Amino acid sequence: MIIDIREAYSRALDGFGALVHQIAPEQWENPTPCVDWDVRALVNHMVGESLWAPELLAGRTVAELGDVFDGDLLGDDPPKAFDAAAAAAVHAASSDGALTCVTHLSFGDVPGAEYITELFADALIHTWDLARAIGADERLDPELVETCAAWFAGAEGGYRQAGVIGEQQPLPAAPDAQARLLASWGRHA
């Protein structure tokens, strides 16, 4: 069942956040499936994405914001930083007009619904990345997998051409929906 994108985004951030709270002190430097990112860099990326969301959904541009969300966004309490940023992002995505507003992204203007969908997909795939990095349960919510796969079927070519995902990976024998989705995002599941 494909679900409302705002609900999907909220649930994906909840899943990622649950894992953030499981990270042991010695795991922050663990490598992740994301090239060049350890656990801390991955969580910092997600905090940054979440901090951008309210600003872009309110009509601000990347140029207006400049480098305000560059650097370390986690401080001394990464779970707290994530929780605050995620709550603000979900609130912004749930606001009236969020789906129909124009968001001014670095590569061009897109409807709010498309931007929220991209945020959702990023959060979902990075949930798996974080689970893999810290040795947690890697099973993603099947409804979120289905929702992401339905959207990504039409977006995959553009993502691959832009170089923001890796090459399609070989599928295991009898792959499930999650394995197919992860392989399409360049992940070895």
Reported as a single tens digit per residue, the pLDDT across 133-170 is: 999 999 999 999 999 999 998 888 888 888 888 888 88
Reported as a single tens digit per residue, the pLDDT across 84-139 is: 999 999 999 999 999 999 999 888 899 999 999 999 999 999 999 999 999 999 99
Percent of the chain with pLDDT over 90: 78
Reported as a single tens digit per residue, the pLDDT across 1-14 is: 678 999 999 999 99
The per-residue pLDDT for 155 is 87
CA–CA gap between residue 145 and residue 32 (Å, rounded) = 20
Global confidence as pTM: 0.94
The per-residue pLDDT for 118 is 95
Question: In the chain, which ranges are continuous DSSP H helix?
Answer: 5-20, 39-57, 62-65, 78-94, 112-134, 142-162, 177-184
The per-residue pLDDT for 187 is 92
Reported as a single tens digit per residue, the pLDDT across 50-72 is: 999 999 999 999 899 888 899 99
Distant-in-sequence contacts of 29-32, Cβ < 8 A, 24+ apart: 30/133, 30/134, 31/133, 32/129, 32/130, 32/132, 32/133
The per-residue pLDDT for 1 is 67
Distant-in-sequence contacts of 62-69, Cβ < 8 A, 24+ apart: 62/104, 62/105, 62/106
Tokens read off for 52: 């951008």
The per-residue pLDDT for 69 is 93
Question: Whose CA is closest to 4, among 99, 124, 141, 126?
Answer: 99
Reported as a single tens digit per residue, the pLDDT across 12-21 is: 999 999 999 9
Measured CA to CA in angstroms, residue 82 lies from 35, 41, 106, 155, 183 at distances of 21, 12, 23, 27, 27
Tokens read off for 101: 């507003």
